[in-house]
Amino acid sequence: MPGQGMGSNGNDRVRSNDLTSTAQELVAALSERHETVATCESLTAGLAGATIASIPGASAVFRGGLITYATALKNSLAGVPRHVLDSEGPVSAVTARYMASGAREKCASTWALSFTGVAGPAGQDGHPVGEVWVGISGPGDTRSYTAASVLGVGERLRGGREDIRNAAVLAGLTVLLNSL
């Protein structure tokens, strides 16, 4: 996968050049296809959108994003049904899928990515630090993955808050790039 970025020396830090190079590849691929992307972000709090927007030419492909850090905003902004939040919780595969489809609809984009999970320093509602779900919604399909499975690093992401948030963004960009 392009830009996997988990250091071969055993550390869990995502190198900024991995994020940048993956974002560059994504912007180029979307531009070539005349397609667009939007984001719905919880734990990443706008980092995915900012990473995409930092690439020259992003204005042709990046529609915008929703920041749904608070659980209630996942419902009111992204359209995650209240019963899903009550039964599945804000950190779940189902919630990630609804967040992605909500962003795609609200932002009128070809594709949308979502990010929900626990960056730490402590677990949340029975979910461990590093449990992160990435949702992707595109033409005819909406899916979700654990960020750790995308990056091939086990069951959950490791490191501090910044490491986990950067790795989550890398996983999302990688999922979309591989879906094109």
Omega of the bond prior to 90 within 30 degrees of 0, cis? no
Q: Kindly list the domain boundaries of the chain, sorted by start residue.
A: 16-179
**Which residue from 53, 4, 62 is spatially nearest to 30, judged by alpha carbons?**
62
What value does the mean pLDDT take over residues 28-49? 99
Burial environment of residue 15 by CB neighbours within 10 A (0 to 12, 13 to 18, 19 or more): middle
Question: Across the chain, what does the average pLDDT equal?
Answer: 93
CB atoms within 10 A of CB 162: 13
The string of pLDDT tens digits covering residues 121-180 is 999 999 999 999 999 999 999 999 999 999 999 999 999 999 999 999 999 999 999 999
Per-residue confidence (pLDDT) for residue 5, from 0 to 100: 37
Please list, in sequence order, all residues whose beta carbon lies within 8 angstroms of the beta carbon of residue 79, skipping any fewer than 6 positions away: 98, 101, 102, 105, 106
The string of pLDDT tens digits covering residues 120-133 is 999 999 999 999 99
Per-residue confidence (pLDDT) for residue 1, from 0 to 100: 31
Read off the pLDDT band of 4 (50, 70, 90): very low
Which architecture, in CATH terms, is 16-179? Alpha-Beta Complex (3.90)
The string of pLDDT tens digits covering residues 52-97 is 999 999 999 999 999 999 999 999 999 999 999 999 999 999 999 9
